[in-house]
Amino acid sequence: MSKNSKALKWLYGELPGLVAAGVIPQQSADSIKKHYGELPTGRNLVFIVLCILGALLIGGGALLILAHNWDDYSRSTKTVLALAPLFASICAGFFVLLKDIGNTGIREAVGIFWTVSTICALSIVGQVYNCGGTLEDLLLAAFILSVPISYLMRSSASCMISLAMLVSWAFNVHKFWYGNESLTVLFFIPLLLMILPFMIWKWIKAVDSLSSVWLAWGLFIAVSLVTCLFPTAHLHSYESAIWYIVIYTALFLTGLLNPDKSFFRNPFLNASKLGIGVCLLILTFAFRYHVYSTHNFISPDSISFWISLALVIVVSVAAFFSGRKFSSEAFVWGSAPLAAFLMLLLGSSSYPLTGELLANIYLIALSGWLIVTGARDLIITRLNYGMLLGIAWILFRFFDSDWSFILRGLLFIFLGIVLIGVNIFCMRRKRKTDDAPEGRIAA
């Protein structure tokens, strides 16, 4: 069961007072504590981190020892030295499974030891016996063999290593498929689906745990990096902005399922907005460089046009239903894929500046909505997103202008004062609202 540490801490702090006041009996208080379990402590986190660090140090130390006089060893000796850590890690893993050891630190340490020893055994045996192959083959084989370890050990660290190997494989194999890069997608997606159920299980079990947060960041970064490999060789670089915006919008809608809205603990919800904003900023000036030439940013004659359109429709429909269920913010950010598609469509017309005009109008409207609603509802995060988006838009125009240094300096000072001043004003207003007696509206 997912546990919110702050909510549980507050609840457990209230139980003694409720029992003393006779609101609930002691038996009910004990049942509540039994149902939710003990509060996670900082010592558990430190223990897990130390176990992971210890496993990495042991593995690194073993490799350094083996590297000493490595060339003097016979082939059979090298094989034994390569397979011995793997055999030891497998024994440790089965011991943990047979004894049903539930300690997270021990499982993480064994998971890392098992994963690293698997990678080392594959690389050393391949080198000793000249098995051939490439780095891409090694990364793919290591990924496939390490995936079951994450499930068996329930190890988030092992899962992160597997995810890193998958991303490395995608980037390394991509250059060999130049001209047919869509093959990377066809293989990457099913490979990602091998490890994705483990991540989903971790999020369902404890979405607010530190391991779940790191898995979320790992998946977000991996998807962001590999998204640039998605377009085919015939896809224009500006058109790939649609793919980025679609991916980030889908991740944003996924983040709405997490009740924790803080930036660090919900990268899907918050970091995705930054990705959408950067893509929209690029589109605000992407068209002006093609005013005097016929340039199709997106054309119905290409297969990428229809793929992009299908993705835009699916994400827009999902955003519509998410907006009705969760928040009106889903409507706003969810409209970005459709807006970007229309921008590129207009940019491919006889008047490409119409695409730039729509991009600037949309970005200004988005920034204005975030600022107005954030200030009205005292949602500081939303307010800051709106101000950062607006300031970034102004700075983009600033670097493309011929203003003097005095005007540029005054603009910087003005934007800094606005950013700091608005935050101070809204935080004071929010503090007054929170401190106001019930039933009284704070000024």
Of 88-97, 255-264, 315-324, minimum mean pLDDT range: 255-264
- Angle at CA of residue 49, ends 47 and 50, nearest 5°: 65
Say yes or no to pLDDT of 69 above 90: no
pLDDT score at 182: 53
Taking the C-alpha atoms of residue 180 and residue 262, their distance in angstroms, rounded to an integer, is: 40
Average pLDDT over residues 415-431: 76
- Determine if the pTM surpasses 0.85: no
CA-nearest of 14, 53, 55, 52 to 33 is: 14
Note whether 142 and 97 are within 8 A (CB).
Answer: no
Average pLDDT over residues 290-313: 67
pLDDT score at 49: 67
Q: Where are the alpha helices (DSSP H) in 237-335?
A: 240-255, 267-283, 303-325, 329-334
Say yes or no to pLDDT of 212 above 90: no
Taking the C-alpha atoms of residue 255 and residue 197, their distance in angstroms, rounded to an integer, is: 17
pLDDT score at 365: 92
Task: Quickly list DSSP for 79-94.
Answer: HHHHHHHHHHHHHHHH
Say yes or no to pLDDT of 278 above 90: no
pLDDT score at 438: 46
What digits encode the pLDDT tens for the residues 146-199?
999 999 998 888 999 999 999 888 888 766 555 555 556 667 888 889 999 999
Interaxial angle between packed helices 135-153 and 104-128, expressed in degrees from 0 to 180 and rounded to the nearest 10: 150
Note whether 222 and 199 are within 8 A (CB).
Answer: no
pLDDT band at 281 (very low <50, low <70, confident <90, very high): confident
Taking the C-alpha atoms of residue 132 and residue 130, their distance in angstroms, rounded to an integer, is: 5
pLDDT band at 286 (very low <50, low <70, confident <90, very high): low
Note whether 216 and 268 are within 8 A (CB).
Answer: yes
359, two tokens: 């991009």
Say yes or no to pLDDT of 239 above 60: yes
Note whether 243 and 230 are within 8 A (CB).
Answer: yes
Note whether 139 and 169 are within 8 A (CB).
Answer: yes
Say yes or no to pLDDT of 77 above 50: yes
pLDDT score at 198: 93
Which residues make Cβ contacts (< 8 Å) with residue 430, sequence separation at least 6? 378, 380
365, two tokens: 């409207």
pLDDT score at 79: 85
Say yes or no to pLDDT of 406 above 60: yes
pLDDT score at 159: 92
Say yes or no to pLDDT of 385 above 50: yes
pLDDT score at 238: 59
pLDDT score at 440: 42
Domain borders along the chain are 1-39, 56-230, 234-401
Average pLDDT over residues 205-227: 83
CA-nearest of 37, 56, 39 to 48 is: 56
Taking the C-alpha atoms of residue 268 and residue 199, their distance in angstroms, rounded to an integer, is: 14
Mean per-residue pLDDT of the chain: 77
CA-nearest of 184, 268, 148 to 218 is: 268
CA-nearest of 205, 199, 198, 202 to 1 is: 205
pLDDT band at 143 (very low <50, low <70, confident <90, very high): very high
Average pLDDT over residues 197-216: 84
The contacts found for 209-215 with CB under 8 angstroms, 24 or more apart, are: 209/40, 210/45, 211/48, 211/104, 211/156, 212/156, 213/264, 213/265, 213/267, 214/156, 214/160, 215/156, 215/159, 215/160
The one-letter amino acid code at 101 reads I
Percentage of residues in the chain having pLDDT higher than 90: 7
What digits encode the pLDDT tens for the residues 101-135?
877 778 888 888 899 889 888 888 887 887 777 88
- Angle at CA of residue 303, ends 140 and 314, nearest 5°: 80
Q: How far is CA 185 from CA 138, 160, 177, 190, in A?
A: 19, 20, 11, 9
pLDDT score at 232: 42
203, two tokens: 């999020």
CB count in 10 Å sphere of residue 89 = 23
Tell me which of 263 and 315 has the higher pLDDT. 315
What digits encode the pLDDT tens for the residues 365-377?
998 898 888 888 8
Residue indicated by tokens 């519509």: 320
